[in-house]
Chains A and B, each alone.
Chain A
Amino acid sequence: MQDKTDKLSWPEAVRVNIRAIRLLASKNKLLFPYAVLKALMDTVSTYLSIFLMARLIGELAGERRGDVLIFWVLAGILSKAAFGIAGGLMYHAYEIRSALFWNNMKRIEDEKFLSMDYCDVEDQKVRDLYDQICQNANWSGWGFLKIHWNFQDFVRNSFSVIGAVGMSVGLFTSRVPEESGLVFLNHPLTALGFLAAMFLTALIAPWQEAKNTEKRASLADSARLGNRLFSHFGFMSHYADAMAEYRMYSQAEIAEYYSWKEKSFLVGGVFDKYGKGVGGVRAAVKVLGEKLLLCTIYLFVCLKAWGGAFGIGEVTQYVGAISQLVLGLTAFLSIANELRVNAGFVKKIFEFLDLPNRMYQGTLTTEKRRDRKYNVEFRNVSFRYPNTERWALKNVSVCFEVGNKLAVVGENGSGKSTFIKLLCRLYDPQEGEILLNGVNIKKYRYEEYMAIFSVVFQDFWLMAHRIGQNVAGSCDVDEARAVKCLEDAGFGERLKELPEGLNTWLYKDFDEDGIQISGGERQKIAIARALYKDAPFIVLDEPTASLDPVAEAEIYQKFDAISGDRTAIYISHRLSSCRFCKEILVFEDGGIIQRGSHEELLAAPGKYRDLWEAQAQYYEKAKQYEEDKKYL
């Protein structure tokens, strides 16, 4: 994955930002309007204060009429209070929306993950792209967060610049009296010269800031690596799963070595070097730019005031307004540039959000058949995972008979799981086709096709939510059916013990009173969910790997009841499971090398017999056992 944060051109950056703001605005209702209103209130309040203060000072420097003074003081504090309250209302309205910004941002990504083809969810390239997006956000909020953080300031500073210009027009138009000896100040060229000087000096700070932002963005790779090392090695020793091994293998040593391996943020790292070198100079030059601008402004204001063009009150007003201008302009240009750099990061997010769904989706509906006569056929199917050379499945042809109980066996990595993933259309094969009742499965609507499978994957997932909802996979639970399915799966007795029954929470994530369940119980709930779905095909992938012999035997005994008249597929390393399946598929190197009943396959030499004997030898009485003794 290449991390080019190429600088975007201004027009493109603007386009990207506008697209992002529109997307974010649609997910965060009223967030941006309130931000604008708040910024407007702030600006008006600031300039009104400056204006009123200037009048007060002017009066103080002049006639000092008591009632007039009181008037300006009251006007000042009243307007401040009024705007304080109005601004506060806007602020809180904005914050209420802003509280969910991060959530809504994640939601956008989540929706993408939900709508993506599964093969893309699993694709390493997609995951790397997504990780990069997350790391950019974690490191400095690059991406949508930056837009959120900067939007209000961006608007405020643009208002501020406009307001300041409006309030300092008089500085240029008011004329110095002839007798002061500074008449040259009245010449339009002088005003122009000062304007030009102000403009040029005003550019220094944003220019330095821009260079700095670009430099920081260009160090993103190092920053991300540093953060990944930091969060991986710095915090590992706290994981409950890691603690025993940490001690037995003195893993602290290796973690310490790696924690300090990359210096990125540390002394001597890229950021440190930059801060002490060019970055430090830039920081100083930036301040220099700001002060030069201040000098220019004060010089012009002082000269004109000294020459008598305006009074002390106006001096306060111009100095106040122009200080705001300096701040506003610097900030405005810096933020604009930061948003331009950020557009590169936002573009990455859109690259992710715009990933196309490449899987062809047909429009056919599957027939709803009560007799469950669904035939599935693999015809010369070959498949390899994206970005790999090796064929995970090679030229597989197989046809399932309805209602058959099928066992799938083979060594690790022989293609069993891939076979199931293709069957459930989590992936499409590159060659060959898979047919349902004679029609290529791609031609069916995806959800319709998915509806005919109930699968309990080896790494199945249950939500930390109520048992009933987990079984139903929905907020609406058909309670009688859920209980029936849990009973069929062997969870019935435990269910009776639970005071809240179906409403019991699993785990503690959602509710403090949630229960912890054992591996065997989890397995049973997952099977109950598969039963609740009541699909014509049921697939169980290694359901007993972590169970003890008694729990394992329980699942075996239930298998017939569980599968009923469905077509059942059972994958396991425990070949004992083959005994209750009518037919066995033996996988090796991505192909089906044997097929038949247990007795047939055992009768002839072959892979299945090897596998079977490897395991069964230990359980066969007397004869075999004596041989082992000899071996030992």
Chain B
Amino acid sequence: MTYQEFKDILYNGVWKQNTGVVQLLGMCPILAVSTSVVNGVSLGLATSVVMALSGAAIAPIRGIVPNEARIPVFILIIAVLVTLIQYLMNAYMYSLYVVLGIFIPLIVTNCIVLARIEAFAAKNPPLQSALDGLAMGLGLTAVLAILGGLREIFGHGTLLSGIDMALGESAKSLVITVVPNYHGFLLAILPPGAFLTLGCLIAGKNWLNLRAEKKLKDAASLEAAFPAAHA
């Protein structure tokens, strides 16, 4: 894998084709789980691991699976990986499992995993496929973190609440109370709040894209008007 390839895959996953705000795949877990930063990031990281592993596991066998059977085989492999992770987490990281337990089986049904396998891992070598899965997962994690953060601030007036469940009692001091004595804003916590916040995030990303485009165009027209400026 060349450096350029590495950069492209990473940029594609985290920004250009971001699963959360561009491809809009796997909305169900995104909207359901993003009620707080800790929840969002936890599911995001778990999904990243599953996506990276399934990319790495499926790319090497892409040649021997007949085309007609590829979807069931891919789903089977993803399901095996997810169950494997569930067993291992349950056995060795129990406190994290208590928090993430209900979300892990959801990853199997998250269409983003199968979508990336179909679009990328089925056509590319293992290393690249693993990186693609990881990059897509990290892009999703970033969106979930921002979404969870916004909903948590508006809904509860806190940030990072529940981090002690993931990192242990000592992490309790990391919880930030943004608005003291906040009475809560239920809409932000309920599903409509998820849709509204996600809408704002998509609008924000499009605005950034348009601005970058405009800058490029301005620079080009400036170049055309004063060709000597760079000489």
Are the chains A and B members of one assembly? no
Residue ranges of A at the interface with B (Cβ–Cβ < 8 Å): none
B→A interface (CB under 8 Å): none
